[in-house]
Amino acid sequence: MNGPCTMNNGNRVFFMFNYKFPPFFIISLFLFAISCYILEKNVKVKHMDKQIIEHAKELLATCDSFLLSTNDRNGFPNTIVVSKPIIRASFYNLKFYVNGNGQTVENILHNKKGNVCCFDEARHESVLLKGIFSVEDIEEFKLLKDRLNHYQKELNHENPVVLSFEVYTVKVHSQTKTFWKDVDDFDDH
């Protein structure tokens, strides 16, 4: 029957076909529709994930100043401003030039977790990276000297070291919206 029909409970339903489909076919069709929806949503999410990473890479490449945050022995944050990474081994690993005798290195030796942040004030955009720091001694300063900017060379640290930062979480603020993602969730890591 085509057209509206009233069920015993008073709800109106519409039959669109004269043929009664078997229940397994209807269930299969329903499951197919759900899987198509989930697949489409996953494709959109993966596209958004790649956009987040690409935007974060762009900000990391264009920013000149970075904030490194560690936690002191009492759990309070300690933040320093440093120049851009001297080495970007990949998006997931950044290396910064710092003083090995400073509070930041002391904090990392007790708690490796920390944040790296940079921002573009004119565009109101920022990237916050959460991850793990490690301290690397500089064995051959001459090899590193070419990577330092003018200011870093003037610092003349008594005990220069490289802080290596491994990214675990990416948070990007852009166009009045904030997006974040754990690195484990990315396929191209």
Q: In which band, very low, low, confident or very high, does the pLDDT at 124 lie, cut at 50, 70 and 90? A: confident
Q: Is residue 48 part of a domain?
A: no
Whether 12 is covered by a domain: the verdict is: no
Closest alpha carbon to 119 in 77, 78, 172, 164: 172
> pLDDT tens across 27-44, in order?
666 666 666 555 554 444
Q: Does any domain span residue 175? A: yes
CATH value at residue 172 = 2.30.110.10
Q: Quick check: is 29 in a domain?
A: no
Sign of CA dihedral 185, 84, 160, 81: negative
Query: Can you give the pLDDT at residue 153?
Result: 81
**Residue 24 is assigned to a structural domain of this protein:** no
pLDDT at residue 157 tops 50: yes
Confidence of residue 144 (pLDDT cuts 50, 70, 90): confident
Rounded to two decimals, the pTM is: 0.68
pLDDT surpassing 50 at residue 81: yes
- Tally of domains in the chain: 1
Structural domain range at position 70: 58-185
Q: Cβ contacts of residue 60 below 8 Å, gap of 6+?
A: 84, 85, 88, 91, 94, 118, 127
Residue 134 lies in a domain: yes
